[in-house]
């Protein structure tokens, strides 16, 4: 198509070149009537042809612009669909990787249990033919689990996680249910939710942060969103548990005297 346009442009240039010598100022001073009539007729035909050529060029340019715009729109739609598809594939790939990671962790969790079961076999007293009590089995599972997980998990722990486990320890020391539910809340909520609960609810009591002002925004409606995105459990369930933990912690004295926490 570009070759055809070049031909039209060349034809237009040739017509201008032919019409130039036929202009009145370039005519010979000594010419007859017949010559003038023939020149006028010839010039008129050339001008008509020139007009047609210019119209063809204009139509050609408009057609090319429409075509390019249409191609651009198709290309934009294709790129948008391609980007959307790539984003969906990336999300699916990430979800698959997370699922595989959870499955790997779950499979890794059974390694200590398999080792202990292989050691004890069927010698547990609950099976009716052994002498090993159940608590020995549980202690061995915990010990082997610590030996398995601590070398991997400890290098990846940040200050926030260390603080969370400290709080769990202090809570569990006073009440096992309180420590359990706090750890469950930590494992089922995001970092912002955990930070709000730890930093403004419990940390200043157990870890010695007297300068921070206690706030219970999740109890007066200011931070209801803290309970909306739990991995497990309803908003009302976690709100009730956190309120009970917080109320129980508030009863502790500044010296951290032993107080029973009821959750």
Burial per residue of 140-178, b for 16 or more beta-carbon CB atoms within 10 angstroms, e otherwise: beeebbeeeeeeeeeeeeeeeeebbeebbebbbebbeeb
The tokens of 95 are what? 């979800």
> What pLDDT sits at residue 179?
73
> What pLDDT sits at residue 237?
73
> What pLDDT sits at residue 205?
52
- What is the pLDDT confidence band of residue 32, given thresholds at 50, 70 and 90? very low
- Least confident interval from 41-50, 85-94, 241-250, 251-260: 251-260
- Which residues are CB-contacts of 64 (< 8 A; sequence separation ≥ 6)? 1
Neighbouring C-beta atoms of residue 205, cutoff 10 Å: 19
The distance from CA 172 to its chain's CA centroid, rounded to whole angstroms, is 36
The tokens of 232 are what? 């497990």
Average pLDDT over residues 5-25: 64
With a cut of 80, say whether residue 136 has pLDDT above it: yes
> What pLDDT sits at residue 260?
44
- What is the pLDDT confidence band of residue 258, given thresholds at 50, 70 and 90? very low
> What pLDDT sits at residue 49?
78
Average pLDDT over residues 196-206: 56
- What is the pLDDT confidence band of residue 193, given thresholds at 50, 70 and 90? low
Taking all residues of the chain, what is their mean pLDDT, rounded to a whole number? 69
Question: 185 vs 65, which has greater pLDDT?
Answer: 65
- pTM more than 0.75: no
Average pLDDT over residues 21-45: 56
The tokens of 236 are what? 């009302």
The residue length of the chain stands at 263
Can you tell me the distance from the alpha carbon of 25 to that of 155, in angstroms, rounded to the nearest whole number?
96
Burial per residue of 81-97, b for 16 or more beta-carbon CB atoms within 10 angstroms, e otherwise: eeeeeeeeeeeeeeeee
pLDDT per residue over 66-97, tens digit each?
A: 888 888 888 888 888 888 888 888 888 888 88
Q: How far is CA 131 from CA 14, 126, 127, 143, 257, in A?
A: 113, 9, 9, 20, 41
Three-state secondary structure call for residue 55: helix
């Amino acid at each position: 198509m570009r070759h055809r346009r070049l031909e039209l442009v060349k034809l237009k240039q040739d017509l201008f070149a032919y019409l130039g010598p036929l202009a009145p100022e370039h005519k010979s001073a000594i010419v007859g009537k017949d010559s003038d009539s023939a020149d006028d007729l010839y010039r008129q035909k050339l001008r008509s042809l020139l007009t047609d050529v210019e119209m063809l060029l204009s139509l050609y340019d408009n057609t090319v612009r429409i075509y390019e715009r249409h191609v651009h729109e198709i290309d934009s739609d294709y790129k948008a669909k391609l980007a959307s598809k790539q984003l969906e594939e990336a999300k699916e790939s990430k979800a698959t990787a997370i699922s595989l990671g959870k499955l790997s962790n779950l499979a890794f969790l059974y390694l200590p249990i398999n080792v202990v079961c292989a050691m004890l076999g069927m010698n547990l007293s609950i099976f009716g033919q052994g002498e090993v009590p159940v608590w020995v089995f549980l202690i061995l599972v915990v010990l082997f689990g610590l030996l398995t997980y601590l070398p991997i998990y400890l290098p990846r722990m940040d200050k926030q996680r260390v603080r969370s486990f400290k709080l769990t320890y202090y809570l569990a020391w006073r009440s096992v249910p309180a420590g359990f539910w706090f750890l469950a809340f930590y494992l089922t909520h995001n970092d912002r939710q955990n930070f709000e609960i730890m930093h403004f609810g419990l940390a200043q009591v157990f870890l010695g942060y007297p300068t921070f002002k206690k706030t219970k925004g999740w109890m007066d409606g200011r931070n209801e969103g803290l309970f909306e995105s739990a991995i497990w459990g309803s908003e009302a369930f976690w709100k009730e548990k956190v309120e009970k933990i917080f109320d129980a912690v508030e009863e502790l004295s500044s010296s951290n005297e032993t107080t029973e926490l009821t959750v």
